[in-house]
Amino acid sequence: MLTIERALVDQIVAHARADHPDEACGVVTGPAGEDRPVRFVPMTNAERSPTFYKFDATELLKLDREVDDRDEEIVIVYHSHTATEAYPSRTDVSYSSYAPDAHYVLVSTRDENEVEFRSYRIVGGDYDGNGRVGAEVVEEEVVIVEPGSAPANR
């Protein structure tokens, strides 16, 4: 289960809408070991493509250092699909080795009026150099916490 504040959901969706028709991508970090999304960090999609995304390499290094220095973890890796449903593609699974245990949030911007916001875990598999192979995609419930309400415990 992913528990996330409404404001973070809104930021992720706004980023996806802003970059449409290209895919948008980024992370939400949080205190190490707590599995709690706190800090929204949008990334540049170096591919600037409607069908592919790749974190800008320089931004990724900066992010990696920050997460280390602040004693954080990558809680969420998010990206958008601009013409298809919010479900991880085969390539999404292949290139999930940086933060293998994160929540993978998919947003679809294919419908102008309706928001699709879904979350998955990518479980198991091995990194063989080309990508992560043999991993399984498991959808999880998303619990959105409204401002002012107590955060739910996992």
Partner 1 sequence: MAIEVRIPTILRNLTDGQKAVEGKGGTLDELFGDLDARHPGLRDRLVDDKGLRKFVNVYLNDEDVRFLGGLTAEVSDGDSVTILPAVAGG
Residues interacting with partner 1, by CB under 8 A?
25, 43, 47, 51-55, 57-58, 60-61, 64, 77, 79, 88-100, 127-131
Compute the CA torsion angle 150, 154, 145, 16 (nearest 10 deg): 150
Q: Is the dihedral of CA 94, 95, 101, 104 positive or negative?
A: negative
Q: How far is the CB of 34 from partner 1 (least distance, A)?
A: 18
Nearer to partner 1, 79 or 118 (CB): 79
Nearest residue (CB) to partner 1, 17 versus 54: 54
The least distance separating partner 1 from the CB of residue 131, rounded to whole angstroms, comes to: 6
CB of 7 to partner 1, least distance (A): 23
CB of 90 to partner 1, least distance (A): 8
d(CA 132, CA 92): 9
Joined together, the tokens standing for residue 98 give: 């940086």
Report CA torsion sign: 80, 137, 5, 34. negative
